[in-house]
Amino acid sequence: MKKILIVDDDADTISFLKIILQQQGYKILTAQDGAEALAIFKIEPANLILSDVAMPHLNGYELCQKIKNASDPRLVLTPVILMSGRTLDSDIRYAKSLGADDYLPKPLDVDDLLAVVEGKLLAAERLQNLFEYATDGAEVITLIINGQPVRLDYRQHRVWVDDQEVELTAREVFLLERLARQPNEIVSLVDMVKATHDLNTDSQEAGQLLRPLIRTLRRKLELHLGKIPCIKNVRSRGYLLIADSRVLVRE
């Protein structure tokens, strides 16, 4: 049974959403603000978060940002749908820039809500399967980059250079994993942002979302691999990971 975490400081809204979603067979968890939602998620992870924007302590935008920038892949891969009575284009763009999976206007249309919830749950399941069975079923990849072995574990979403673990955020790991599937080949901006943000978007928006991730990933890899750049920008097309060789391991 899929679990949905409803986050809203209005008791009537929570009650309404709980009835609607329980009728569809979902298990419902509830929280009154973003801080409580994060605490609940640590104890009982949900498959999707449906959150109001305007809340005390930790609002919906802040909750979304913490989830999508977390180091825990369980959080990052969890769809976040924001709800708000504010429907200005600037509000929607801001939500998308934080990684929100959708933005629903209040008052909610029940049919739209159910369609979005079902669609985002299916997309999240496909994305999780992609990471679990990436690289033709290989669970571990070892790349030789700048003469050093770089090991990626697709089960744990962790990265090592030699025997030293590289401290990366979940999105940085997802980005490196996507590039590592096709070393020395250009991976498009659209394909990369699908892996890091689970978004279908155009190249311009994808580039804007990816640039800060590429920058921090390069900087962290340089600490272990030296200043020779291993992630190359191919203008207007995408990026490629420069590697000398690759070994796949199925365990």
37: domain CATH number? 3.40.50.2300
For the chain, how many structural domains are there in total? 2
Residue 228: predicted pLDDT: 76
Q: How high does pLDDT run on average in the chain? A: 86
For the residues 218-223, what does the mean pLDDT come to? 91
For the cut 50, the answer to whether the pLDDT of residue 225 exceeds it is yes
Rounded CA separation 107/83 (Å) = 9
Out of 132, 167, 201, a domain closes at 132
For the cut 50, the answer to whether the pLDDT of residue 251 exceeds it is no
Rounded CA separation 165/162 (Å) = 8
For the cut 50, the answer to whether the pLDDT of residue 136 exceeds it is no
Residue 116: predicted pLDDT: 95
Q: Are residues 213 and 118 in the same domain?
A: no
Q: Are residues 72 and 100 in the same domain?
A: yes
Give me the domain span that covers residue 116: 3-132
Q: Are residues 151 and 89 in the same domain?
A: no
For the residues 183-212, what does the mean pLDDT come to? 88
Virtual torsion, Cα 81, 14, 48, 40, nearest 10 deg: 120
239, 186 Cβ separation under 8 angstroms:
yes
Residue 73: predicted pLDDT: 62
For the cut 90, the answer to whether the pLDDT of residue 14 exceeds it is yes
Out of 132, 159, 179, a domain closes at 132
Q: Are residues 118 and 222 in the same domain?
A: no
Residue 19: predicted pLDDT: 96
User: What does the pLDDT look like over 162-176, one tens digit per residue?
Assistant: 888 999 988 899 999
Q: Are residues 85 and 101 in the same domain?
A: yes
Which of 55-69, 116-130, 213-227 is least confident? 116-130
Q: Are residues 92 and 158 in the same domain?
A: no
For the cut 80, the answer to whether the pLDDT of residue 107 exceeds it is yes
**Per-residue 3-state assignment (H helix, E strand, C coil) for 163-195:** CEECCCCHHHHHHHHHHHCCCCCCEEHHHHHHH
For the residues 17-37, what does the mean pLDDT come to? 96
Out of 132, 150, 178, a domain closes at 132
Q: Are residues 8 and 121 in the same domain?
A: yes
Q: Are residues 94 and 180 in the same domain?
A: no
Query: Residue 61 corresponds to which amino acid?
Result: Y
Q: Are residues 40 and 108 in the same domain?
A: yes
Between 248 and 53, the higher pLDDT residue: 53
User: What does the pLDDT look like over 72-94, one tens digit per residue?
Assistant: 666 777 899 999 988 888 888 89
Between 130 and 41, the higher pLDDT residue: 41
